[in-house]
A and B are shown apart, each in its own frame.
Chain A
Amino acid sequence: SQQGEEDPQALSIQEGENATMNCSYKTSINNLQWYRQNSGRGLVHLILIRSNEREKHSGRLRVTLDTSKKSSSLLITASRAADTASYFCATDPGSSNTGKLIFGQGTTLQVKP
């Protein structure tokens, strides 16, 4: 399969704790993106990190990228019950693969109030 892998598959934490999700991919990339999905609805774009970047922050989100290991991690700090959702990493291979994102299988995060 071309799809990347995410771990853990499921994560349950208490409100206020930090959540870390990891993503590994197989091909070279132009950028890597993280998306959130609530209960089988549409995907919400969270953050994008380019292949020449190593770390990026957006609010309570921190993303790292290690292209030598073909891996990325998403850290959500001070989690809230509203963060309960599935999180997907998606790689953009760039070049001629226009419009095509390769998604991981996702991490289901439950934040308990």
Chain B
Amino acid sequence: KAGVTQTPRYLIKTRGQQVTLSCSPISGHRSVSWYQQTPGQGLQFLFEYFSETQRNKGNFPGRFSGRQFSNSRSEMNVSTLELGDSALYLCASSWGTDGYTFGSGTRLTVV
């Protein structure tokens, strides 16, 4: 079966712009989580969605937001981009609590 698909793979944006990243989970998985990975902070949890509802949120500013659609696909949005937002953004889907399947990530560079 198809894995977790993230689009786009690479993105270059200018400070102050906004960006939307997309994640299509494995079919049947209703939970989608988002993570930010940077060399300095490592992997940090952004938020988790289940059946279109945000169930959990990490410690990120309000510029970071997300949503989930009825088909479980999820998007995350970052507004007013800062240089420090440059990172690999990973999404993961799961069916239960037996581990997560991650996508290949979106590499965001803010210039």
Q: Using CB atoms and an 8 Å cutoff, list the residues of chain A in contact with chain B.
A: 3, 30-31, 33, 35, 40-45, 48, 88, 90, 92, 94, 96-106
Contact = CB atoms under 8 A, between A and B. Distances in A.
Contacts, number: 71
B94 A99 contact: yes
B45 A105 contact: no
B22 interface: no
B42 interface: yes
30 contacts: A3-B42, A31-B97, A33-B100, A40-B37, A40-B88, A41-B104, A41-B105, A42-B4, A42-B103, A43-B90, A43-B100, A45-B99, A45-B102, A48-B99, A88-B43, A94-B97, A98-B48, A99-B31, A99-B32, A99-B33, A99-B47, A99-B48, A99-B55, A100-B33, A101-B35, A101-B43, A101-B45, A101-B100, A103-B42, A103-B44
Task: Give chain B's interface secondary structure class.
Answer: strand
Interface of B: 4, 6, 31-33, 35, 37, 42-45, 47-50, 55-56, 58, 88, 90, 92, 94, 97-105, 107
